[in-house]
Amino acid sequence: MTEELLSLPVPSVSIADHGVAWLRSHVVRFSSGPDHTRRRALTIKLLENITATTLDELAAALNLPGSLDDIAKIAACYQPHLPTTAEADAAVERLARDHDEQTAARIGLLVQAWAATNALAERLGTGNPAPPVPVTRRVAAHGVIEVSLETHPFGHGRHACPGRQLGIQIAKNMAFQAMHHQNEPLILPNAWDYASAAALHAAGFLAIGTTSLGVAAAHGIPDGAGLAGEQATALAKMLADLPCPVTVDLESGFGKAPAEVADLVKTLGAAGINLEDGRPNGLSTPEQQATLITTVKQHAPGVFLNARVDTHWQGTAIEETRDRAKRYVDAGADGIFVPGLTDPHDIEQLAGLAPLNVLAQQRTPKELGNLGVKRISTGSLLFRAALHHTVATARAVRDGGTAAAFSYAETQALISPGTRSDAE
């Protein structure tokens, strides 16, 4: 029934020559028939080849740089059932150098992206599965009706914005960034394939990471040797379909030059990445790692870059760890990760530099949070535990027993199209 209602025409808007009323009367969102077809084609054309990671990048790509304050004013009264304001009308006029359909399409796209990504990011941050736009309006025989979108994925329907995938990615980036600035640490479990990631998301975790050991070992490749780039990239692109932010362990960039790593990150579909200063034969220089970080952040500013400092693994003094961490933050890293760090004093020293990630340890999340930790990841623990449980289960079967496991139907459900953010 909802599909039939969504096929009804949208409420008409009056033709106008300025302000919000002009914008409404010239965008694809509030048009039907030939106007809708023509304007949708124009909108799709505008979005070609755009790979923005932030709303600021999207604004610049749409030739509206620095416009987000005005866009926010317009978004507050963009819908036809809402009253317009003089402030919003003035914002439209500042942005509409030409009052034509292409200008309206650019402004309208950014308005919808601003509203939808902010709403979706808020929901992702709390695990709320409700769509950012809960209802839409259509014209039925007895007048304008509200049609619920509660059971539909974001951006569903004939009048859906063609940029919904771009909007979903930007919203995930925004949500993941915000997760590192909350009172309680983000608990980040690390998956090694699609099924393990989907199971962790279904269990209620707000964001998922990947484990380089799990990904490499599952393919018969040693970890840390820079040899599992193809496998890590393929998994990252699969996990981009999950309806939650995903951060990907890229080791040290798999031997690629900084510009190549930056290009990969921008098109990966991940909300975050890990880049480590460890190399197969030791540590990079701080200068080399800082260059890599700066290059990646310049190309993909919305992707959360977690700079892993491998000095602690090698028994280096905390002073060098802190120096490297500071250099990486100055180079643009959003957070720092020091695996093996457990000393409370050392944790407190590093936590003041940027959101600090530590591995799960014999302290509660609250205890680590009190030390300043903002993210607790499981690293390869879950993968190693799964291997252990696999062997234990096989031995139990050999000995005439069994063990707890997901059912066949539960596992199938984890990979159904309905569990993905782009599902129809």
Checking if the pLDDT of 365 tops 90, the result is yes
In three-state secondary structure terms, 337 is: strand
Checking if the pLDDT of 162 tops 80, the result is no
Would you state the pLDDT for residue 312?
79
pTM (predicted TM-score): 0.92
Would you state the pLDDT for residue 142?
74
pLDDT band at 72 (very low <50, low <70, confident <90, very high): very high
303, 270 contact by CB (below 8 A):
yes
- Rounded Cα distance between 73 and 68, Å, is 9
Residues 6+ apart with CB under 8 A from 198: 242, 414, 415, 419
Rounded to an integer, the average pLDDT of 392-408 is 93
232, 248 contact by CB (below 8 A):
yes
Residue 48: count of CB within 10 angstroms of its CB: 7
What is the 3 state secondary structure string of the chain?
CHHHHHCCCCCCCCCCCCHHHHHHCCCHHHCCHHHHHHHHHHHHHHHCCCCCCCHHHHHHHCCCCCCHHHHHHHHCCCCCCCCCCHHHHHHHHHHCCCCCHHHHHHHHHHHHHHHHHHHHHHHHHHCCCCCCCCEEEEEECCEEEEEECCCCCCCCCCCCCCCHHHHHHHHHHHHHHHHCCCCCCEEECEECCHHHHHHHHHCCCCCEEECHHHHHHHCCCCCCCCCCHHHHHHHHHHHCCCCCCEEEECCCCCCCCHHHHHHHHHHHCCCEEEEECEECCEECCHHHHHHHHHHHHHHCCCCEEEEECCCHHHCCCHHHHHHHHHHHHHCCCCEEECCCCCCHHHHHHHHCCCCEEEECCCCCHHHHHHCCEEEEECCCHHHHHHHHHHHHHHHHHHCCCCCCCCCHHHHHHHCCHHHCCCCC
Least confident of 24-38, 296-310, 357-371: 24-38
Q: Which fold has domain 180-387?
A: TIM Barrel (3.20.20)
pLDDT band at 13 (very low <50, low <70, confident <90, very high): confident
Helices (H), 243-300: 258-268, 286-299
Rounded to an integer, the average pLDDT of 292-298 is 98
What are the beta bridge partners of residue 290? none
- Rounded Cα distance between 303 and 272, Å, is 5
List pLDDT tens digits, range 313-331: 777 788 999 999 999 999 9
Per-domain boundaries in the chain: 10-132+153-161, 180-387
Checking if the pLDDT of 374 tops 70, the result is yes
Amino acid of residue 15: I
186, 240 contact by CB (below 8 A):
no
Residues 6+ apart with CB under 8 A from 110: 55, 58, 59, 62, 64, 67, 71
Considering 149-153, 379-383, 400-404, the range whose residues carry the highest mean pLDDT is 379-383
Checking if the pLDDT of 423 tops 60, the result is no
pLDDT band at 424 (very low <50, low <70, confident <90, very high): very low
Least confident of 272-281, 388-397, 409-418: 409-418
Checking if the pLDDT of 408 tops 50, the result is yes
64, 46 contact by CB (below 8 A):
no
